[in-house]
Homo-oligomer: A and B are copies of this chain.
């Protein structure tokens, strides 16, 4: 289920994009599954159809979905997005780590933090 946070500074289409990407990454939506139609998802989320369209387009561009005219949108194979997504995440993580270091956090502080994260069951 996707819940839109109107207080979030990020635009709605980006929230939708990210939520769907998360669902695909976690395997909730498996490859070749048919996505709900643009109009239907728009109604479900109570947003403008343009917003959903934009989210789908973005997901297609990033390799998470592929579209078939007249059929709908489908989840891509894992290979299509995994490499790029992880590459981006590594870069982000590295930068966050550098900032933490600059801020005075010790090696052990950070190690402890990631250990906590990896021991959690539920992550969002």
Chain A residues with CB under 8 Å of chain B are 6-7, 11, 22, 25-26, 66, 68-69, 71, 82, 85-86, 89-90, 92-105, 107, 110-111, 113-115, 117-118, 123-124
Do A96 and B98 touch across chains, with their CB atoms under 8 A apart? Answer: no
Do B101 and A86 touch across chains, with their CB atoms under 8 A apart? Answer: no
Cα-based distance from A123 to B71 in the complex (angstroms):
31
Q: Assembly of this chain: how many copies?
A: 4
Do B117 and A103 touch across chains, with their CB atoms under 8 A apart? Answer: no
Do B101 and A118 touch across chains, with their CB atoms under 8 A apart? Answer: yes
A11, A101, A118: which has the most chain B beta carbons within 10 Å? A118
Cα-based distance from A6 to B85 in the complex (angstroms):
24
Q: In this complex, what residue of B is CB-closest to A116?
A: B94
A102 contacts which of B26, B97, B101 (Cβ < 8 Å)?
A: B26
Set of chain B residues within 8 Å of A114, measured between Cβ atoms: 97, 107, 110-111, 114
Do A97 and B107 touch across chains, with their CB atoms under 8 A apart? Answer: no
Cα-based distance from A102 to B90 in the complex (angstroms):
12
